[in-house]
A and B are shown apart, each in its own frame.
Chain A
Amino acid sequence: MNAPAATFRAENRAVAERRGWTAAVGREWRAAALTVKLSAILLLAFYVFAAASPLVAPYDPAQQWRTMPDCPPMRLHPAPPSEWSHGFLYAYPMRLDNPIARHYAEDRSRRTFVRLFYRGHLFTTAPDAPPFFLMGSENLGRDLFSRIVYGARVSMCIGLVGVAISFSLGIMVGAFSGLMGGFADSAIMRLCEIEMSLPSFYFLLALAAVIPSGLSTTATFFLIVAIMAFISWAGFARVIRGMAASVRSAPYVEAARALGGSRRRLLFRHIIPAVIGFAAVNASLSIPGYILGESALSLLGLGIQEPAASWGNLLSQAMDPQTIAYFPWILIPGLFISAAVMAFNFLGDHLRDRFDPSNAA
């Protein structure tokens, strides 16, 4: 066999594989309902927010404009071509004309130009110009949009990290328990049931309250995720254990055992691969729980702490009906939470319809 032919064949195979992969995704995409497509796009956008927050957010999320608390969202106007050197878009700066009522008026005598791809941001204003608040500002005069973008880091990642922890823990314990059977199985499952019978939200509150002060925001974040994952792995382990127990008596597992396969081999080569598809679907459906859990904790002041932002702690300002009535834009983080939760649910449902073996028939 000569070398060029081999190279050609290898390249050909690579192209074919690539085509196969993209084709599969394309096929899935075309088959999916509109809601699923929208969900996928939305989640992708949120993860872009999270990954590229410094780029997407126009301002530092902790920067306080102390003369502009609770400023309403500003409107953008296209700039006339003669002023394109300053920027293509501008807004009128807001002036606080009644500090007690927090009533603002547009200052029509001035303009603040919103520049695209400027100073390392997707869009922002010149450092000495009045700020542009796309979604308004919150009660300390910080830009709500920037905080939502940075908040996506916490709120969008908490689900992934949490699921990664509870998923691996649940799958290991569940599959092991199902494979072993007998006393070990009963003991592990009773432990899981005890864990599941704890009133989870109060348990979460108690655990969150003992997080030592003086930890950095990142450390607090991971502790909170770990706490939430610790609460949810047991239910997951029970389901996996049930599947593993039924797979254990399947002919191919019996065959592997009869051929002298070790317990580890049975676990990793036969049991876990059989349940992992279901587990993946289940995991995607449990992500919203983490997002909501974090927002509930933050709402009570036990989650991510100021000045770091998460969608939950941004929403905590909206606990007061007064505030909502006068500054309705502070509910925007709530829309982001609902959108993310809904998107994960649509996507998870879709994945279950496609990949759950019980639906295959």
Chain B
Amino acid sequence: MAAFAIAVAAVAAICGCRVNRPRNDHAATQTLYDSMVSDPGTFNPVLITDSASAVAIGDMFESLTRVNPRTTLFEPGLARSWEFSDGDQTLTFHLRHDVKWSDGAPFTARDVLFTMRVIYDPKIPNSMVSAMMIDGKPIAASAPDDYTVVVRMPRPFAPILSSMQFAILPAHVLAGAYEAGRFNRTWGIDTPPDRLIGLGAFLMTRYVPAQLIAYRRNSDYWMRDEQGAPLPRLKGEVHLIVPDQNAQYLQFQSGMTDVYHPRPEEVWPLEQAAKRLNITVAKVGIDTGSLFFAFNRNPRHYVHDGVADPRYQWFTDVNFMRALAHAVDKQGMIDLCYRGLAVPAVSDVSPENKIYHNPNLKDYGYNLELAAQILDRAGYRMIRPGVRGDPEGRPLVFRLTTNTGVPVRDQMCAIFKQDLQKLGITVNYRPLDFITLVKALDLSFDWDCVLIGFTGAIEPNDASDFLRSSGNLHIWDPAQPKPATPWEAQIDHLMDEGTMVVDPYKRARYYWQIQQILHDQLPMIETVRAVTYVAYRNSLENYYPTVWGLYHPEWIEFRAR
């Protein structure tokens, strides 16, 4: 009843918005409004663990290098150039001379060294340190002068440019707090915005919890456009904090925000309304992450008192897994769950990762008859109508889970379950709330099959915690003391080899091979990748979204009327 009332109210809200749409002054004030789903957890760039915080301070801080989202290659940032020497074991950054912190102090090599010291401090928990370890040892850095940073590696380490992509902290502001052991409590969300000293394109002016974060243009920003005019062109930015995506959608329609990332079912209505709302709906690209069914092959879950649960044998039997791979109706998932706005995923690396994605993998096509044949041949035969058994005659039953509250995942699980039912395999599906699910995956290992997604990165070594057998995110059997299978050992080896070659195009073949191994051994079955869209006001100029972020965001502006 309550749900019904909410539903009616929501319909009324949609209709209401169509009738009176307030005029906004975003173009007149050159202020870009968009929305974010939750409040930030911290304003301290080193302590960030959540995406909302990353969005909140993303435009205030910068790193030595930046990635061109169109080419996925590195470009100069706070460092105007860099060079490798000494057999790729030394990397020298030459910093820009014209960069100033927002309090007027110059940006120097001291800031870079201070930030590295903070990240490597064991008392300061942060997510960056794992990417900055080479064979378990920190990277040594020194500053021969104020505008040069020299990084020495014990061996050639290809991901170094990606590792050095941390946001630089102002040493003159934070060193005192760090020396006093108060770093973990600095720059929390209760810090007055004018005390957050940044050097990015925008500076925070106001944070109202649960409502908005506002920014103004950094007039001392170092970038200039082709004519030498200062950047960024926008005078301000506002992130509205709107936890409910339906509300975000309505706000975009009513003109309160200028940019919106629609869900698949919203793309069509927005395209239809594009003219009336004066917006553009553009395809951004293919999701950079990976969404897959993982199967637990952790002996700690299955083997008790020397007796192995049969599921352990099934999930480690490559024939069983191949049959299941042929039972995933990817096209059905695309049509039903994504309105056709998705593509089948074959590799665990997105095709948007242009260099490291292996395009030669051949997908397991949806074919239930073939799946049944493979099962029959491998000894998994029907033991009674509608029930298939393993070679020892035990019925095939396992549990499937995912996190609650994501309708698309629910539907994908329902489709998979239905197809396995046709093969005679019983799946007990029950979604778990996110915390419970993470505990099952990380601590109790009490799960059989899970539909789960990982985000993707350009640097392939960033996935090392997932790919290496010793990794904590090696989801099917995490933190192995030594590789459980020969192919996992081979992946570990390829991960080592892949970091030794600096040229990305020469590196790629190691990662292509890893994708091939995962595709053949099937510890997890890839599903689909959404094709993402963005909708934005036609009055925005130079708005070039890509799946890896905005291209040249400093050039964005509202067209003068």
- Quick one: which of A98, A305, A331, A341 contacts B7, CB cutoff 8 A? A331
Given that A216-B428, A322-B265 are known contacts, is A296 also in contact with B2, CB under 8 Å in the complex?
yes
Please, how many angstroms separate the alpha-carbon atoms of A298 and B492 in the complex? 44
**Cβ-closest chain B residue relative to A216:** B428
Give the residue of B7, B335, B429 whose beta carbon is less than 8 angstroms from that of A318.
B7
**Which residues of A in the span 322-361 have a Cβ within 8 Å of any Cβ on B?**
322-326, 331, 334, 337-338, 341
- Tell which of A140, A306, A321, A323 touches B429, judged by Cβ atoms closer than 8 Å: A306
B411 within 8 A of A: yes
Binding-face segment, B36-44, B129-137, B431-439? B431-439
- Given A66-B329, A216-B428, A305-B429, does the pair A99, B410 have CB atoms closer than 8 Å? no
Is there a chain B Cβ closer than 8 Å to A141's Cβ? yes
**A182 CB → nearest B CB, Å:** 42
| CB neighbors of A among B245-264 (8 A) | 246, 249-250
- Whether B430 pairs with A305 at a CB distance below 8 angstroms is yes
Of B8-16, B292-300, B549-557, which stretch is located at the interface? B8-16
Cβ contact within 8 Å between A100 and B268: yes
Type the 1/0 row for B363-405, where 1 means its CB is closer than 8 Å to any CB of A: 0000000000000000000000000000000000001010011
Smallest Cβ distance from B310 to chain A, in angstroms? 15
A141 to chain B: which residues have CB within 8 Å?
A: 336
**Min CB gap B438→A, angstroms:** 14
B505 within 8 A of A: no
> B-facing mask of A294-320, CB < 8 A → 1, else 0?
011001111001110000000111111
Residue of A nearest to B419 (CB): A64
Q: Does A69 contact B (CB under 8 A)?
A: yes
Q: Are B415 and A140 in contact (CB under 8 A)?
A: yes
Q: Is the CB of B418 within 8 A of A139?
A: no
CA distance A315 to B2 in the complex (A): 11
B404 interface neighbour in A64, A69, A301, Cβ under 8 Å? A301
**A residues near B249, Cβ cutoff 8 Å:** 322
Which B residues are in CB contact (< 8 Å) with A140?
A: 336, 411, 414-415
Q: Which of B10, B340, B431 makes the CB contact (< 8 A) with A99?
A: B340
Q: Say whether B414 contacts A317, CB under 8 Å.
A: no
B417 at the interface (CB under 8 A from A): yes
* CA of A275 to CA of B335, assembled, Å: 58
**When chains A and B are docked, how far (Å) is the Cα of A324 from the Cα of B269?**
13
Query: A214 near B: Cβ within 8 Å?
Result: yes
Interface residues contributed by chain A, number (CB under 8 Å): 45
Q: Which residue of B lies closest to A98 (CB)?
A: B268
Which residues of A have CB within 8 Å of B341? 100
Chain A residues contacting B4 (CB-CB under 8 Å) are 315, 318, 331, 334, 337-338
> Is chain B's binding surface mostly helix, strand, loop or mixed?
helix
Contact B335 A306 (CB under 8 A): no
Cβ B265 vs Cβ A323 within 8 A: yes
- Give the shortest distance, in Å, between A138 (CB) and chain B (any CB): 10
B340 touches A296 (CB 8 A): no
Given contacts A140-B336, A321-B7, contact A307 B417 (CB under 8 A): yes
8 Å CB contacts to A: which residues of B274-303?
none
With A69-B336, A214-B428: A318-B399 Cβ-Cβ less than 8 Å: no
For the complex formed, measure the closest distance between the CB of B404 and the CB atoms of chain A, giving whole angstroms. Answer: 4
Q: How far is the CB of B475 from the nearest CB of chain A, in Å?
A: 17
Within the assembled complex, what's the spacing in Å between the Cα atoms of A267 and B501?
86
Contact B246 A322 (CB under 8 A): yes
A101 within 8 A of B: yes
Question: Is B3's CB within 8 Å of the partner chain A?
Answer: yes
Q: Does B560 contact A (CB under 8 A)?
A: no
Could you tell me if B428 and A213 are in contact, using CB atoms closer than 8 angstroms? yes
Pick the residue among A101, A215, A321 that contacts B246 (CB under 8 A). A321
Q: Is A209 a contact partner of B336 (Cβ separation < 8 A)?
A: no
Residue of B267, B413, B430 contacting most chain A CB atoms (<10 Å): B430
Assuming A66-B336, A67-B335, A140-B336, is B414 touching A320 (CB within 8 A)?
Answer: no
B3 with A299: CB separation less than 8 A: yes
Chain B contacts of A326 at CB under 8 A? Answer: 269
Q: Which residue of B lies closest to A212 (CB)?
A: B430
Question: Contacts A66-B415, A67-B335 given: A321-B3 contact, CB under 8 Å?
Answer: no
Is A89 part of the binding interface, using a Cβ–Cβ cutoff of 8 Å? no
- Is A52 on the interface with B (CB-CB < 8 A)? no
The distance in angstroms between the C-alpha atoms of A176 and B267, with both chains bound, is 63
B418 with A307: CB separation less than 8 A: yes
- Min CB–CB distance B513 → chain A (angstroms): 35
Q: Which of A101, A295, A323 has the most CB of B within 10 A?
A: A101
Q: How far is the CB of B434 from chain A (nearest CB, A)?
A: 12
Q: Are B429 and A324 in contact (CB under 8 A)?
A: no
Determine if A102 is an interface residue (Cβ-Cβ < 8 Å).
Answer: yes
CB atoms of B266 and A322 under 8 A apart: yes
Bound Cα distance from A348 to B158, whole angstroms? 75
Q: When the two chains form the complex, which single residue of A66, A101, A295, A331 contacts B332, counting CB atoms closer than 8 Å?
A: A66
Q: Are B268's CB and A101's CB within 8 A?
A: yes
A292 within 8 A of B: yes
A296 touches B3 (CB 8 A): yes
A306 CA to B417 CA, complexed, in Å:
10
Contact B269 A322 (CB under 8 A): yes
Q: Which residues of A have CB within 8 Å of B267?
A: 100
Q: Which of A306, A316, A341 contacts B413 (CB 8 A)?
A: A306
Q: Mark B86-130, 1 if CB is under 8 A from A, else 0.
A: 000000000000000000000000000000000000000000000
For residue B404, which residue of chain A has the nearest CB?
A301
- Contact between chains at B414 and A325 (CB < 8 Å): no
The answer to whether the Cβ of A274 comes within 8 Å of any Cβ in the partner chain is no
Residue A76 is within 8 A (CB to CB) of chain B in the complex? no
CB neighbors of A among B1-52 (8 A)? 1-4, 6-7, 10-11, 13-14
The verdict on B474 contacting chain A, using a C-beta distance below 8 Å, is no
In the complex, what residues of A have CB within 8 A of residue B407's CB? 139, 317, 320
* Most chain B Cβ neighbours within 10 Å, of A213, A216, A295, A320: A213
Chain B residues within an 8 Å CB radius of A100? 267-268, 339-341
Complex contact A62–B430 (CB within 8 A): no
Interface positions of A from 184 to 230, Cβ below 8 Å from B: 209, 213-216
In the assembly, what is the distance between CA of A179 and CA of B415, in Å?
A: 57
Nearest residue (CB) in B for A318 is B7
A66-B335, A307-B414, A331-B4 known; A321 and B10 CB under 8 Å?
Answer: yes
Bound together, the chains give a CA A292 to CA B432 distance in angstroms of 22
A residues near B431, Cβ cutoff 8 Å: 301, 305
Chain B residue, CB-CB nearest to A67: B335
Complex CA–CA separation, A316 to B266 (angstroms): 18
> How far is the CB of A202 from the nearest CB of chain B, in Å?
14
Q: Mark B146-170, 1 if CB is under 8 A from A, else 0.
A: 0000000000000000000000000
Partner among A69, A209, A337 whose Cβ is within 8 Å of the Cβ of B433: A209
CA distance A324 to B3 in the complex (A): 12
Residues of B289-338 whose CB lies within 8 A of A: 329, 332, 335-336
- For B329, the chain A residues whose CB sits under 8 A away are 66
CB distance from B249 to the nearest CB of A (A): 7
Give 14 new A-B contacts, CB below 8 A, not counting A300-B404, A315-B3, A323-B265: A100-B268, A100-B341, A139-B336, A140-B415, A213-B430, A292-B2, A295-B3, A301-B431, A305-B430, A307-B417, A318-B4, A321-B246, A322-B249, A324-B10
Can you list 12 contacts pairing A with B, beta carbon distance less than 8 Å? A69-B336, A140-B415, A214-B399, A305-B431, A306-B417, A317-B407, A318-B3, A318-B7, A319-B3, A321-B13, A321-B250, A325-B14
Show the binding face of B for A, using Cβ within 8 Å: 1-4, 6-7, 10-11, 13-14, 246, 249-250, 265-269, 272, 329, 332, 335-336, 339-341, 399, 401, 404-405, 407, 410-411, 413-415, 417-418, 421, 428-433, 436
